[in-house]
A and B are shown apart, each in its own frame.
Chain A
C-alpha cells in the first residue's frame, strides 16, 4: 500500500495550476467532510432532542445553545488527531509498519514547546514577544526536536529489524514508547510532571456569527484564539505536506519508496535516507501537534501521547491508512464524533450516562462499523491481490 497521491503528468505550462489544484484539492475534501459530519451529527442530535423534548422541557434550546461550541471543540480535537495521524500514515505508507512510538513523539514535542516557553519566560523574553511569534518559534523548535527524535528512533530501534517478521518491530516500537514516557518523566522531574505552558495572553475571541433566537437574546458563536491557531496551523501543515509529497523531488522519492523499495533503490534513490526523511516529516508533524495541544489546553504530562496516539492511529485507519487526506478526514470525523457524544450523551440521558466516558467507546464502534462496510477505510482503495 502506498502513500496516496494524485500525481499526473503535467504539461509545463499548466504545471503551476495543476500543482495548486493538487495541493489544495484535499482541503476541499476535508471541508466536505467537516461540513458533512457536522450536519449529520447535528441532525441526529436535533432529531433526538425533538423526540426527547416532550418529556424534558428546555432540552431543545439547551442543545442548540451548545451546538456551535461542540462543533468547534470537535474540530480542534479532530485536527489534533488528524495531525498526529499523518505521522502514522506516512510511516505506514512507506514501511507498512505501525510506529507505535509516534504518540510519544507527539508528547515530546509538547514538552519541548512547553519547556521552551518556561525558559523564555524565565529569561524575561516571553513578555517581549508577540504570542504568535512564540507559537511559531515553539513550533519550529519542537518540530525539529521531534523530527530528529523520530529519525534517531528509526535508526536505532527499527532499521535493524527491517527484515524481521512484521510484528517484531512493533514490539520494539512499544519498548521505545515505554522508554520515552519514563524518560520524559525522569527529565521533567516530579515538579514538572504536569507541565504548564506559560500564559500567552491569547484571550481574544473572534465572533463568527450571531444567530437571532426567539427569546430575544442573540446567540453568539465565537471561537477562541487558541482554537483558531490550532485549526489554521494544522491546515497549513497539511497544505505544506501535500506540496512536499506531490510536487517536490523528495516527495516523488518518498512515493517511489512507498510503492516499491527495491525498484526505487535500483533507480538510484537512497532508500535509507528517504525512510529517515519520512520519519522526520512524520515526527515533525507530531511535534507540531504537541505544541498546538499545549497552547490550547495549557497542561501536558508524559502520558498524553498514549491515548492521543491510539486515537490518531484509529483515525488513520478510519480514513484509509497510507492515505494522507484520509488521515485528516478520519481525524476530523473522530474528533467531531467524540465531541458530540461527550456533550450530548450526558445531556440526553440526564447525566445517567457520562458522555466523556463513552466518547472513546463511540469512536471505536464507529471504526468497527465503517471498516465492516468499507474495509479499506473512508478514502482507502480496495487492494486486490494479484494471483
Chain B
C-alpha cells in the first residue's frame, strides 16, 4: 500500500530510519507535502480509482511517520481529511462512505484495543456494546419505544435533537453493561473470559433477534427501520450561504464529520489513558498479575475500568451507526463481527493505537473495496481466458480471501503491522528462544544461569 510497509521495520524505528535517511533539513517537509499534493490531485482527477484512493489514504501514514513538526502534521491531516476527502466525496460518494465506515471500525478497534491490547483481557463479544448503543437509539427514535412504554406512546419517536443526548446515553449504557458483565467474570482466567464474553455477545444478539415477542422491543429478525437522524442544525447557515445540496449529500458529509470527531476523541482518550497511572496498571496486569497486585494495583477495579472504557467507545459508535444506516438488524452484531474487530486490533499490533487505526482501515478497505475489486478483476481474467473454474464466482468468496489474508499476516508479521514498543520487545525476546523446544523457559535463568531452573 504505502512505501513504508515494504520496509523491514515499522513503528518508531521506521521514524528513526526516515529521519536518518532524509536528514533534518527541509527534505522531509518537501517529501511529505509533495506526497500529499500529488496523491490528492491524482485522486481528484481519478475519483473512481481504488488505487488512487489507497495511495491517497496512505498519505496519512506518511504524515504520521515522517519526521516533521507537529503543527505541520496537524495542518496536513486537516487538509487531507477535512478538505480533500470531503471534496472527493462529492465526486464519488462511495469513497466517503468507505471512509466513514472505516472510521466507525477504527473507533471500535480502538475500544477493543483498550481491553485486549492494553489490559490483556480477551473479549470475544465486544460487538455487543456496539449493539447496545445502536439499539438504544434505534428503539427510541422510532415508534418501537411506544411498545415498551405504552403510557408514553405519544412522545415517541423522539425528535432528532435527542440524538446528541443519546450519544452520551450510548456511552453510559455500554459502560454500564461493561461493568455488569465484568463484575462477575473478571475473576476468571484468560481463556474462560474469552468464552464468557463470546457468550455474552451471543446472548445480546439472540435477545435482539427474539425480543419481538411477547412485546415487540427490538423488531426481531426484521430489525428496526427508519431510525432517526441527527438534527441538521447547520441548515440555516447553509441556506444563508446559499449552498445548494441534497439532504442525502449533507447527511453523508455530516456523518463523515461526526465519525471523524468521535474517532479523534477516542484516539485522544486511549492515548491519555495509556500514558497515565491507569495505563501503566493495565500493562502491569498484562505482564504479571501477581506482581501487579502486590505492588498495590487493584486488579478487579482496573480490569473493570478497561472493560467499561472499551465498551463506551463502542456504545457511542453504535448510536452513530444506527443513525447513519437508518436500519439495523441482528446479523450486524454476530460473533464474526466481534472477531473481525479483534482481527483489526491484532493485525495492527496489539496495544498500539496507530496499529488499531491502520488495522481497522485496512480490513474495512479490504472488505469494502479491495476484495470486490479483486473479484471483478478475476472475472475479467476469466473472460480473457485464464483458467479459473467456472463455478468460482469470486464475489461470493470474500471470506476465503479474508481468511487467507489473516493467516498470511499472522504468520509473516505476528507482532502486527505497527507494533507497540513493549510488544515488539516481547516478541523479539520470545523469538530468540529455541523454537519448538524452548529449553530455558524463564528469561531470568538465561541472564543468570546459576539460579537454577524452577
Contacts and interface: CB of A to CB of B under 8 A. Distances in A.
Q: Decide if A and B touch, CB cutoff 8 A.
A: yes
Contacts of B342: 167, 171, 174
Contacts of B192: 317, 321, 371, 375, 377
Enumerate the 4 nearest inter-chain pairs by beta-carbon distance, A residue then B residue, closest first: A175-B406, A178-B403, A364-B199, A179-B403
A352 B411 contact: no
B414 A261 contact: no
B175 to A, nearest CB: 20
Interface in B332-387: 335, 339, 342-343, 346-347, 350
A47 interface: no
Interface stretch (B28-36, B163-171, B433-441): B433-441
Interface string A260-283: 011001100001100000000000
13 contacts: A157-B411, A159-B436, A164-B427, A171-B347, A171-B406, A179-B403, A352-B213, A353-B213, A368-B184, A368-B200, A375-B187, A375-B192, A383-B189
Interface of B: 116, 122, 184-185, 187-192, 194-196, 198-200, 202-203, 206-207, 209-210, 213-214, 290, 335, 339, 342-343, 346-347, 350, 391-392, 397, 399-400, 402-407, 410-411, 414-415, 423, 426-427, 430-431, 433, 435-441
A387 interface: yes
B213 A354 contact: yes
B430 A164 contact: yes
A227 interface: no
Interface of A: 92, 96, 98, 157, 159-172, 174-183, 185-186, 189-190, 261-262, 265-266, 271-272, 306, 310, 313-314, 317, 321, 349, 352-354, 357-358, 360-361, 363-365, 367-368, 371-372, 375-377, 383, 385, 387
Given A171-B347, A354-B213, 17 more contacts: A163-B435, A174-B342, A174-B343, A174-B403, A175-B402, A177-B403, A262-B439, A265-B437, A306-B335, A352-B214, A360-B202, A361-B202, A361-B206, A368-B200, A371-B185, A375-B187, A385-B290
B195 A313 contact: yes
Given A190-B391, A358-B206, A171 B346 contact: yes
A163 B430 contact: yes
A181 B441 contact: no
A321 B340 CA distance: 25
Nearest to A166: B190
B438 A261 contact: yes
Contacts of A181: 399
B411 A160 contact: yes
Interface centre among B122, B192, B423 (most CB of A within 10 A): B192
Given A98-B191, A168-B410, A186-B397, A387 B290 contact: yes
Given A163-B430, A168-B410, A171-B342, A178 B402 contact: yes
A357 B191 contact: no
Where chain B touches its partner, the secondary structure class is helix
Contacts of B199: 314, 363-365, 367-368
Nearest to B411: A160
B293 to A, nearest CB: 11
A353 B211 CA distance: 9
B47 to A, nearest CB: 32
A265 B200 CA distance: 40
A188 to B, nearest CB: 10
B95 to A, nearest CB: 26
Contact of A354 (B210, B403, B404, B405): B210
Given A262-B441, A313-B195, A352-B214, A271 B406 contact: no
Contacts of B438: 163, 261-262
B334 to A, nearest CB: 10
Contact of B439 (A178, A182, A266): A266
Given A163-B431, A317-B192, A354-B213, A262 B437 contact: yes
A339 B415 CA distance: 43
A167 B195 contact: no
B191 A361 contact: no
Contacts of B207: 361
Contacts of A261: 437-438
B350 A367 contact: no
B343 A171 contact: yes
Contact of B427 (A92, A165, A174, A175): A165
Contact of B391 (A179, A189, A365): A189
Nearest to B196: A368
B185 A186 contact: no
A172 to B, nearest CB: 4
Contacts of A166: 190
Contacts of A368: 184-185, 196, 199-200
Contacts of A321: 191-192
Interface centre among B184, B187, B406 (most CB of A within 10 A): B406
A371 B391 contact: no
A199 B255 CA distance: 56
A25 B346 CA distance: 43
B392 A186 contact: yes
Nearest to B207: A361
A367 B197 CA distance: 11
Contact of A167 (B122, B430, B431, B433): B122
A177 B410 CA distance: 14
A387 B430 CA distance: 22
A165 B416 CA distance: 11
B410 A175 contact: yes
B350 A167 contact: yes
Contacts of B406: 171-172, 174-175, 178
Interface centre among B190, B400, B403 (most CB of A within 10 A): B403
Contacts of B196: 367-368, 371
B433 A163 contact: yes
Contact of B404 (A96, A165, A167, A179): A179
